[in-house]
Amino acid sequence: MHSNLPELTDISQPELTQALQHKLNGKTKPVGSLGRLEGLAIQLGLILGTENPVLEQPQMVVFAGDHGLTQRGVSAFPSDVTWQMVENFLEGGAAVSVLARQHGLTLTVVDCGVQHDFLAGFPADVERPGLRVHKAAWGAADSSKGAAMTRAECSQAIAHGRALVQDLPGNALLLGEMGIGNTSAASLLLAKLTGLDIAQCTGAGTGLDAAAVQHKTAVLREAMVRHARQTEPLGILAAVGGLEIATMVGAVLQAAHERRVVVVDGFIATSAVLVAHAVQPLVLQRCVFAHRSGERGHEFMLQHLGVQALLDLGMRLGEGSGAALAWPLLQSACAILRDMASFASAGVSEIAAAEDFNG
């Protein structure tokens, strides 16, 4: 384990697992009839260390950064869209802004390395509500021509992510991101960390046609060749990742250390978990995977981690939109454990109930 990264403890507790399962089995329903919601309830109970889990002050954090790879034409959108979308988040107009409001999620946008000064024109002593500026650099470099980040920048970004989480309230962190070009970084991380060919890991991103995907794949293959000797997880992150992804890695590790529930969005957010898992496998105990993205590489990430996502809506927007949509399922799982009557408390006969339920 790296000395500057938090230690994680194994949160699997056979006695608590048994108690949670027993509690679910005693509810007024056939055993196992709530399907995967029951497994989710048990996971949340284990993360929070209680038979009566309560999700408090959930934090949706959108990590934003720019990518030098966009200069190679790997995205359908220009890199200026990154800062323009950050302004859209701050104004409350983006999809994740709408969903965060709907579900009572506090939304924070973090400038991890956007090539834009969001504080220009604002008084030095004034903070912009909902914005945190934690730049480790002004954008990641073109990883097809050199390292995306220096090791110092990567370490700084990870430290920023850790400090950010330490400063946030609540016991649940929902991951979001914004960065034109970051599907390229995530594809490279997937290929480097799993050994898959880069062509399998590369998709349409913001909406590229088949010819543009071929071009994107060729550029990413250049980056793979350039960094072929890099095999250590954080070295890979610095070589081909992004500032927002590195900051997210730090946030995931810190949230896991603090036993917060980590709700993982789609392709980019899962790439950060892929790195965090490579340095500390126990992070997976704390992660709930919100949805399976429509971006082709995401399924390979989920398979590599051995996890199943809650939703599959063909979405590939990012921003944390899938995490926000999955949030009510986590609330429902906790509510079932806490509030649903047991056969004993409701005065329902378990045998009779089973017969009734089965017709």
Instruction: Please report, for residues 1, 38, 103, 296, the alpha-carbon distance to residue 276 in angstroms, rounded to integers and kept in the order given.
Output: 11, 26, 27, 21
Instruction: Please report, for residues 265, 286, 290, the alpha-carbon distance to residue 310 in angstroms, rounded to integers and kept in the order given.
Output: 10, 15, 5
| pTM of the complete model | 0.96
The pLDDT, as a whole number, for residue 217 is 97
pLDDT of residue 356 exceeding 90: no
Return the DSSP state at 282.
G
The pLDDT, as a whole number, for residue 1 is 46
Residue-wise pLDDT tens digits, 42-84: 999 999 999 999 999 999 999 999 999 999 999 999 999 999 9
Structure token digits, residue 26: 């005693």
Instruction: Tell me if residue 15 is catalytic.
Output: no
- As a whole number of angstroms, the distance between CA 75 and CA 85 comes to 15
Structure token digits, residue 139: 């954008």
Residue-wise pLDDT tens digits, 243-301: 999 999 999 999 999 999 999 999 999 999 999 999 999 999 999 999 999 999 999 99
pLDDT of residue 354 exceeding 60: no
Residue-wise pLDDT tens digits, 197-255: 999 999 998 889 999 999 999 999 999 999 999 999 999 999 999 999 999 999 999 99
Give the chain's mean pLDDT: 96
Q: Which domains does the chain possess? A: 14-53+336-357 (1.10.1610.10), 59-328 (3.40.50.10210)
- As a whole number of angstroms, the distance between CA 105 and CA 253 comes to 21
pLDDT of residue 353 exceeding 70: no
The pLDDT, as a whole number, for residue 237 is 98
Q: Which position among 56, 319, 350, 355 bears the catalytic label?
A: 319
Map 92-116 to HEC letters.
Answer: CCCHHHHHHHHHCCEEEEEEEECCC
Question: Edge-to-edge strand order for the sheet containing 131-133?
Answer: 131-133, 106-113, 59-65, 172-178, 261-264, 287-289
Residue-wise pLDDT tens digits, 80-95: 999 999 999 999 999 9
- As a whole number of angstroms, the distance between CA 277 and CA 213 comes to 28
Is residue 66 within 8 Å of 181, Cβ to Cβ? Answer: yes
